[in-house]
Structure 1
Amino acid sequence: MATVFLVEDDMRLSQLTADFLRNHDLTVRQFADGSNLLSHIREERPDILLLDVMLPGEDGFSLCRTVRREYDGPVLFLTARDTNFDQVLGLELGADDYVIKPVEPRVLLARINALLRRVQKDPAAKNHDQLQFGKLQIDRASRKVMLGQEAIQLTSHEFDLLWMLAENASELVEREKIYTELIGREYDGLDRSADVRISRLRKKLNDNQKNPQRIKTIWGKGFFFVADAWE
């Protein structure tokens, strides 16, 4: 059973959410705030973290920034503020997804399961689940990325996005494919989630943000992983 950490200060909502998830074969640990959250994560290594944005004390954005230093599992924000700014900021801080409260419990469960499926390790994974382009090495079985001698720390969603791009090296990966297969929803023409994640990948992989040479944007269409740009 996957373990969910739920950080939500509304105790009634927290209990209703936890009960629903437990009824669908998930183990849930509830927290009313972010006090000692990182310590609990170190001890139990949850499979997914659900973070309310508006919390007493340290808010969800700050907590996400803190835990991302050590935790590479999925982070899903729960936010009552339906603004592009909040959503983009959450993604830039390392969240994998967000839902707007109030959320239908089955929708939340579907989002959680989608994130968990992406990070489950395939027990039959072989060594051929590796890609290498010059100094860049990507290992799908261990979900590790090396750039030269440097280990690149990616979130679960960043890794999946990089693998999708690299697996289709020198080919256009359309936005619609990223949204439907990785993000889990249709692209509406306005959602910037993919752009934010691409920007984070470029930064971590030492690509030029203003004039990218390794992961290029094909405006109006999608993204292009340059196979010979990793020497």
Structure 2
Amino acid sequence: MREKILVVDDEEDIISFLRDSLEEDDYEVFTASSGEEALEKIKLYPDLILLDIMMPGKNGYEVCNDIRDIVSCPIIFLTAKGEERDIVKGLASGGDDYIQKPFSLRQLKARIHAHLRREKRNTNNSEKANLYFKNISINLRNREVYCNGQLVILTKKEFDIIEFLSVNCGQVFSKEQIYEKVWGYDAEGDSASVAEHVKKIRHKIQNFDPEEEYISTVWGVGYKWEK
């Protein structure tokens, strides 16, 4: 199956150039010329996104923040802004890489290939990774959680928290440790977000299994996933 790439840029010349160049390498390419259009094209679940930062309406940072609860694929920022604070802001908003305009097509293709290869390797490593706890099953490859046979609908970060705690079952982690692991070291925000997400996770699971507790609070320390 051909890998899908979404190109988001408000410059038609760049979109046309990238679409033609990537299709030559047998990628399936979708395009969007605005942040709002990009949010619609996300429904196609691309394998990688090339995202311009400076766009009218929603800029690249805002688009990245909006879609990170929907897709987990690599996002490479295309930017004319090469200052360190801009790069840090892009990575903190959920981006995985950046390349500065004007860019080398050869270098961009190499980065795309490297990110897709890494994603494929991660998928292969977790191909048979299924975890089972009481009435819950967690499919790490498909990023799905089932409770008493029913699919629990989760956001990306909710699943990331479940994955982190369940893979390290029985270990206690502070809110700060969970925040750094799930949101990243440079994320804008604080560890209070963890408590709110854990509350939502518990509520969703309790809809299917009100008797069991899977994420327990260790008072004064943090949270752990129960064995």
Which of the pair is proportionally richer in helix?
2
Q: What's 1:196 paired with?
A: 186
Distance 1:79 1:61, change over 3 A: same
> Equivalent residues in 2 for 1:161-180 (5 A)?
none
User: Which residue of structure 2 lines up, in the alignment, with residue 173 of structure 1?
Assistant: none
C-alpha distance in 2 between matches for 1:139 and 1:62:
30
CA contact (8 A) 1:3 1:46 kept: yes
2:216 corresponds to which residue?
A: none
Match of 1:18 in 2: 19
State how far apart, in whole Å, the 2-side matches of 1:76 and 1:201 are.
26
2:119 aligned with 1:114: no
RMSD over aligned Cα atoms:
4.2
Are 2:126 and 2:140, in contact at CA under 8 Å, matched by a contact in 1?
A: no
2:54 matched residue in structure 1 = 54
Q: Once the two structures are aligned, what percentage of the paired residues are identical?
A: 30
SS in 2 for 1:76: strand
Cα separation, 2, equivalents of 1:45 and 1:117: 17
SS at match of 1:90: helix
- Cα deviation, residue 144, structure 1: 5.4
| Structure 2: gaps of 5 or more residues | 147-151, 172-183, 199-220
TM-score by length of structure 2 reads: 0.60
Judging changes above 3 Å, is the alpha-carbon distance between structure 1 residues 213 and 118 closer, same or farther for their aligned structure 2 residues? farther
Quote the offset at 1:143 in angstroms: 4.0
Distance of aligned partners of 1:203 and 1:196 in 2 relative to their CA distance in 1, 3 Å threshold: farther
Could you give the per-residue CA deviations for residues 170-229 of structure 1, whole angstroms, max 9, x where no partner exists?
9xxxxxxxxxxxxxxxxxxxxxxx7437x99996597xxxxx989xxxxxxxxxxxxxx6
Q: How far did residue 140 of structure 1 move?
A: 3.9
Q: Deviations over 1:23-77 (max 9, x none)?
A: 11111122222233222222x2222111100012211111111222322222211
In structure 2, the CA distance between the partners of 1:12 and 1:119, relative to structure 1 (3 Å rule), is: same
- The SS at the match of 1:122 is helix
Q: Using a 3 Å threshold, how does the CA distance of structure 1 residues 30 and 140 change in structure 2: closer, same or farther?
A: same
On the 8 A contact 1:145/1:153 being kept in 2, the answer is no
Deviations 1:81-120 (A, max 9, x none): 1112111111221112211122211211121122222333
Q: Is the 8 A contact 1:92 1:200 kept in 2?
A: no
Letter in 2 for 1:101: K
Greater radius of gyration (CA): 2
Pair 1:63 & 2:63 matched: yes
1:102 aligns with 2:102: yes
CA distance in 2, matches of 1:77, 1:6: 10
CA distance in structure 1 between the aligned counterparts of 2:145 and 2:190, rounded to whole angstroms: 15
What is the alpha-carbon distance in structure 1 between the residues aligned to residue 12 and residue 110 of structure 2?
A: 22
User: SS at the partner of 2:7?
Assistant: strand
Contact 2:50 2:77 in 1 (8 A): yes
- The alpha carbon displacement at 1:20 in A equals 1.3
Question: Structure 1 CA distance, aligned partners of 2:88 and 2:156?
Answer: 18
Q: Is the 8 A contact 1:72 1:154 kept in 2?
A: yes
Letter in 2 for 1:51: L
- In 1, the alpha carbon distance for the partners of 2:191 and 2:116 equals 21
| Count of matched residue positions in the alignment of Structure 1 and Structure 2 | 182
* Alignment match, 2:33: 32
